[in-house]
Chains A and B, each alone.
Chain A
């Protein structure tokens, strides 16, 4: 079970503002609890000593010459930004 306080705490971690007046928090608590009830089935499996999978395909290092090549232009990278300024991404102050 995941309660209202836990939902609000996780939302803060995820930088998501939930609408506390519309019942969004309660609905989220209900839905997450339902999903976690199902997911909890794997908690009971005895998987002691099983290696966790981090990548499904065997990879080997591939090396190339470290040479400077063409890259995205600064103006192109900044063009889709909501508030570009002085060749940078401008953001609100962390302590407004």
Chain B
């Protein structure tokens, strides 16, 4: 970037208009979130009569209280935490050693193994055989099924491998002089060096786990195993699209709208809080992978 130069009046106006437009865009990005949040803390009456458009009207926390009383909400929240933490750790445990091995030019058959991995990015059997396979393995309706079936993907291995390849071989040579083997070199030399890259891959895995709903919805029958996103889908999408349920639910204090808002807000809070801290890892992920895909 150029150090702020001296601008002509025309250029200064250009800068102002640009800034103003960006502010408008940023507000557009925020507005739906603000709207839903306001909805969630407004009275059911204000929400159904359409009086909420920006700030809360007739402030109340009854919708939030209603959601927090729902046992299934807490169960699904705990399930999501489990899937996110255990799922991410499983992913790292599988991805990091594989990526390290693939980054070594001396690995015989590296070209073929690399193809074996990368091929799955271009061609996969698709939804149906994948599902039938999970059935064969008895992983449907199982927590461990969710954890293991989505633990690895080729893209993350390649991301990690690219990083390991960029590490100077002199680190390995030095460790080898001291008599270290590959396991020790990975654990004591490469993993400490790769912390930022590992954080990036971990974040990619974690956010995918936190936000994923589709396969959990397809695989899990038992309500006690569903993650938050599946609970959300049941509560927001399924109910809203059947109108009778909507009428039945409304009371003075809360309505379907405010409940929807409250569920959205309560499930979004962790992401919105953590996101500014982890944002840089995603930016890095995009750069490392060339294109996020």
Do A and B truly interact?
no
